[in-house]
Amino acid sequence: MRLLRWLCSIVIGFALFSPGSLAQEPPKQSPGQETAQTFTRTATPDPALPPVSMLTRLLALTPEQEQKVRQLFAEHNKGYGEILQQKISVKERQEKLRELRKNLQKKLEAVLTPQQLQKLRQMDPEAMLVDRLTIALKLTTEQSSQLLEVMREQSAGIRAIEKQAQENGWSEQQKKQRLAELRKQIDEKVNKILTPEQQQKLRQILQGEAEKPVTPSKEENTR
């Protein structure tokens, strides 16, 4: 079960708006990789972006705001994909991505109200994710508490790997290997928390996310 990839997209999805988030580099993806189980619904998505549908629901975006955010995200993701395809050093890529995200942040500040920006920065992505799974999987209070602890452990592990990769100059393969090891550990712990029936339900949820289209449908855009 590729659980960590799916959960990671939610946890780091608010990184762009967190204080000091632009100082660090979130996990990078190659075009077309690891997008099937994320909630970002645009081609070659930047994993640091929250899903527009989630922002719309949590921040009560107006239809006009939602349309502007979708457009900004689409333009940003296009630039993100172009940067990933460039044959440049890791350091140069990180600098370009930081600048790209700074520009997006400035544009978003012109679209969202100060209250919406403040609310977004204060959100707890791990707790939000566990709340969603608690409802979908009918978790007990104890299961929810245990799962939240694992999610926080996962987030800390991802940050630690990213920091070590940057400080030690790891190759992409080295970082992917460490993330794969973390993914295996997290999957094992989650499976110990969930019953076999809940594990099966979670697999169905993951498969459902994988089957969703990469770009928003006309129906979604009109919501």
> Using one digit for the tens of pLDDT, what is the confidence trace for 207-217?
665 444 434 44
Say yes or no to pLDDT of 43 above 50: no
Name the residue with higher pLDDT: 48 or 94: 94
Using CA atoms, how far apart are residues 78 and 94, in angstroms rounded to an integer? 16
**How high does pLDDT run on average in the chain?**
76
Lowest-pLDDT range, 24-33, 83-92, 154-163? Answer: 24-33
First-to-final CA distance of the chain: 32
Lowest-pLDDT range, 9-23, 147-161, 165-179? Answer: 9-23
Is-contact 56 113, C-beta < 8 A? no
Say yes or no to pLDDT of 63 above 90: yes
Quote the pLDDT of residue 22. 35
Using CA atoms, how far apart are residues 81 and 146, in angstroms rounded to an integer? 37
Mean pLDDT of 101-120: 90
Residue 208 has a CB neighbour count (10 Å cut-off) of 10
Tokens, residue 106:
């400035």
| Structural domain boundaries enclosing 95 | 3-221
Using CA atoms, how far apart are residues 63 and 56, in angstroms rounded to an integer? 9
Say yes or no to pLDDT of 28 above 70: no
Q: How many residues does the chain have?
A: 223
Quote the pLDDT of residue 196. 94
Is-contact 182 154, C-beta < 8 A? yes
Tokens, residue 43:
């081609």
Residues 6+ apart with CB under 8 A from 184: none
Lowest-pLDDT range, 67-71, 72-76, 129-133, 177-181? Answer: 129-133
CA separation (Å) from 159 to 48, 80, 165, 176? 13, 21, 10, 13
The pLDDT tens digits for 112-149 are 999 998 887 777 778 777 877 888 899 999 999 999 99
Name the residue with higher pLDDT: 138 or 28: 138
DSSP code of 25?
A: P
Is-contact 182 203, C-beta < 8 A? no
Quote the pLDDT of residue 37. 34
Name the residue with higher pLDDT: 113 or 31: 113
pTM (whole model) above 0.75: no
Number of domains in the chain: 1
Q: What is the CA radius of gyration of the chain?
A: 17
Using CA atoms, how far apart are residues 170 and 205, in angstroms rounded to an integer? 33
Say yes or no to pLDDT of 153 above 70: yes
Residues 6+ apart with CB under 8 A from 142: none
